[in-house]
Structure 1
Amino acid sequence: MKKRVVVGLSGGVDSSVAAYLLKEQGYEVIGLFMKNWHDDSVTISDECPWLEDSNDAMLVANKLGIPFQTVDLSEQYKERIVDYMFNEYEKGRTPNPDVLCNREIKFDVFMKIALDLGADYVATGHYCRKSTIEKDGKEIHQLLAGKDDNKDQSYFLCQLSQDQLAKALFPVGELLKPEVRAIAKEQDLITADKKDSQGLCFIGKVRLPEFLQQQLKPKEGVIVEVEKSNQIYNQTQPNFNNKLEELDYLSQKKSYAVSDGKVVGKHQGAHYFTKGQRKGLAVGGTVEPLFVIETDVNENVIYTGQGKNHPGLLRNVLFVSNDELHWIREDLAINEGETMQVKARIRYRQPLQDATLHKVDSGLYVEFKDAQSAITEGQFVAWYLDEELVGSGVIS
């Protein structure tokens, strides 16, 4: 019996080539397109991206001679991703919908549908790799970075579990992007030259502020600029009795008041902005560009500073609470009082940074060797041992 694989065909080149490769490897392949959104009032242009994408996915399936169908997951997507996002933004946190989409939709709701179709595996076009080792007589699945450094997407899968990985396949993970396009061209697939999709995972061409405005009402507030020379940044550090006190102190974000700077403009809602953001402030006349250094959703104030090295952006310790801490490799999880040297990143495409994990009673501190810019609550930090992603957590 051939093993059966359901491929999430997104209408892009990566998943198209994933389906082709699996067929070549002798699997019985089924293509499924996930329709995750159909509120056309929040797409930017008149084009209907999901229709175009599902059409491309269908043409690829026809070309490859594999069965194809569309599944409508918009109800679950709204509940698990969109509602969660609005909730996080209202709290002044910045969620990562793509990480959640993989954990909650592709490798959960979608995976269950695939398994109901008798699938042995679910495959996607992600640039990452999976390897399986045996340890103490048990199979353990490793999530490894993709071969293409420019495209490595392991970060987006940082919340997967062993059960999810056991059923996952990533056929393009061993390839470079140009090789994937070349295969698509050779096989005359309609997606060969298609641009990579931008925008929210599957919602199509949506700009986040417009999307947020559907639910979070505009509310005018002030933009305050805080000078680099402000005394907030020049306070002497207290003496610490132990490492824990030091980590706790260094992980705290600065709290600002309007009196700490000067009002330089107005905005339509602090919940539309995120730390490190530069675009959309509409304040001119500064020597260096203004960056958001903090948002206060309760007082509806945005604090900004000039230049990407403004001290308000930089910090080298962050905290993850126990309930938002996740180990892909549960067998490597550290216990209270233990530390681990890792490479870590706090956003997709960020080069890996040297860091030390410190496990404490209430969670985990990640201490970076170098200060990081715009550590943002609600985003994910992921840590690696060599090229293996072993754990992640939500920055609190």
Structure 2
Amino acid sequence: MKKVVVGLSGGVDSSVTAYLLKEQGYEVIGLFMKNWHDDSVTISDECPWLDDSNDAMLVAEKLGIPFQTVDLSSEYKERIVDYMFREYEHGRTPNPDVLCNREIKFDVFLKIALSLGADFVATGHYCRKDTIEKDGQTLYRLLSGKDRNKDQSYFLCQLTQEQLARTLFPIGELQKSEVRKIAAEQELVTAEKKDSQGLCFIGKVRLPEFLQQKLSPKEGQIVEVPATMETYVEEQKDFDSKIEELKFLSRKYKYQPEDGKVVGKHQGAHYFTKGQRKGLAVGGTPEPLFVIDTDVEENVIYTGQGKDHPGIYRRALFVKNEEVHWIRKDLAIKDGEEMKLKARIRYRQPLQDATLFQTANGLYVVFDEPQASITEGQFVAWYQEEELLGSGVIS
């Protein structure tokens, strides 16, 4: 009997994961990760991790599997929360869920599981893996979940071959409705429980309030930039090289306060992210305002009217070499090579046709169609059909 440690989060997906593995004949251990108890930063008045750990314990009891809680809060603070504060401070928008999977669940947690003699860890992610043989080697493929609406492969875009080799995703073949049905049939306490929103494993969190505890408020101006600004007019250009063209396509628009008019005030540019509409508290415009850029140095937020404002869109993005990550290293392209595939720049975004161009100093992702709100600090993930090949941090 192979031994599997399941990350029981107190939700329905991980509960059914544990049940299915037990049915398949594995020796299953349930482990709840406690990721937060820093009193200097409160996340919510409620204490969801207590409720969650209780639910996880009840599920383990019902399934008759051993259960324990591991406290990973110091690692979580150092690797996720401190990193988030640093990124927001520099005007970037990190993705805590991708980081939590890379740094906590499939690193710290995996090492704990292996120290307990486990052969595998398992999580309740809606994704799949399979294996292929190539040049005498076994390679692991990360595939999107069968439930297209819940596919969570994007959140695992930073995993490695070594991590995939040790991981099981039992619910990847199922629809969410089937998972709920199994939980109800087995009378698991989590069957009707709502899916958790918020930071990975911390629970209900409102980001601006969370950030305000470490990044102090600082009043600044909200500037509205007209859609008719000359910068947006695409002139026909002749490029001397492919690199020059790629740099042009991925360039960021540069704004000055005099490019538009002041329409309001904010309490800190670092609380805002590109594409954001809520929280600006500026009324009286024919169409809603969207954040098109933030300048944390000068503490100015630049906005544009309507979701079709040209400042929201870009055709390409850039990833520095040290931030490029291939799950399938055997398919990685070399300097001067290109590859047609599909990519997404956020969770649940439909896959978009794109081309990767590898250059000496980094990787360019050029989309067939302009993309809304390409945001520094977020992850771009690229796919061939249903396989996620690699990812990178948008620079």
Taking only aligned residues, the RMSD between alpha carbons, in angstroms, comes to 0.9
2:219 is the counterpart of 1:214: no
TM-score w.r.t. length of structure 2: 0.99
The answer as to whether partners of 1:40 and 1:48 remain within 8 angstroms in 2 is no
Q: Tell me the equivalent position of 2:138.
A: 139
2:389 is the counterpart of 1:385: no
Q: 1:169 to 1:155 in 2, by over 3 A?
A: same
Q: Tell me the equivalent position of 1:258.
A: 257
Q: 1:360 to 1:334 in 2, by over 3 A?
A: same
In the aligned structure 2, how far is the partner of 1:359 from the partner of 1:226? Answer: 34
Percent sequence identity over aligned pairs: 78
Measured after TM superposition, the shift of residue 40 of structure 1 is 5.3
Measured after TM superposition, the shift of residue 242 of structure 1 is 2.2
2:183 is the counterpart of 1:184: yes
Residues 293-341 of structure 1 show CA distances to partners (whole Å, capped at 9, x for unaligned) of: 0000000000000011110000010000100000000000000111101
How many residues matched? 395
Q: Tell me the equivalent position of 2:45.
A: 46
Q: Tell me the equivalent position of 2:59.
A: 60
Higher mean alpha-carbon deviation, 186-195 vs 31-40, is at 31-40
In the aligned structure 2, how far is the partner of 1:167 from the partner of 1:97? Answer: 22
Partner SS, residue 291 of structure 1: strand
2:79 is the counterpart of 1:80: yes
Q: Tell me the equivalent position of 2:331.
A: 332
Q: Tell me the equivalent position of 1:374.
A: 373
In the aligned structure 1, how far is the partner of 2:389 from the partner of 2:177? Answer: 28
Gaps spanning 5+ residues in structure 2: where?
A: none
- After superposition, residues 1-396 of structure 1 pair within 5 angstroms as 2-39=1-38, 42-43=41-42, 45-234=44-233, 236-396=235-395
Measured after TM superposition, the shift of residue 44 of structure 1 is 5.9
Task: Letter of the 2:38 partner, please give it.
Answer: D
Partner SS, residue 78 of structure 1: helix
The answer as to whether partners of 1:107 and 1:164 remain within 8 angstroms in 2 is yes
Measured after TM superposition, the shift of residue 174 of structure 1 is 0.3
Higher mean alpha-carbon deviation, 72-81 vs 244-253, is at 244-253
Partner SS, residue 391 of structure 1: strand
Gaps spanning 5+ residues in structure 1: where?
A: none
Task: Letter of the 2:355 partner, please give it.
Answer: T
Task: Letter of the 1:280 partner, please give it.
Answer: G
TM-score w.r.t. length of structure 1: 0.98
Higher mean alpha-carbon deviation, 235-244 vs 39-48, is at 39-48
The answer as to whether partners of 1:313 and 1:373 remain within 8 angstroms in 2 is yes
The answer as to whether partners of 1:42 and 1:210 remain within 8 angstroms in 2 is no
In the aligned structure 2, how far is the partner of 1:290 from the partner of 1:252? Answer: 23
Measured after TM superposition, the shift of residue 47 of structure 1 is 2.2
Task: Letter of the 2:35 partner, please give it.
Answer: N
Partner SS, residue 131 of structure 2: strand
The answer as to whether partners of 1:89 and 1:95 remain within 8 angstroms in 2 is yes
The answer as to whether partners of 1:88 and 1:95 remain within 8 angstroms in 2 is yes
The answer as to whether partners of 1:141 and 1:166 remain within 8 angstroms in 2 is yes
Measured after TM superposition, the shift of residue 232 of structure 1 is 1.7
The answer as to whether partners of 2:43 and 2:210 remain within 8 angstroms in 1 is no
Task: Letter of the 1:301 partner, please give it.
Answer: V
Partner SS, residue 320 of structure 1: strand
Partner SS, residue 82 of structure 2: helix
The answer as to whether partners of 1:42 and 1:206 remain within 8 angstroms in 2 is no
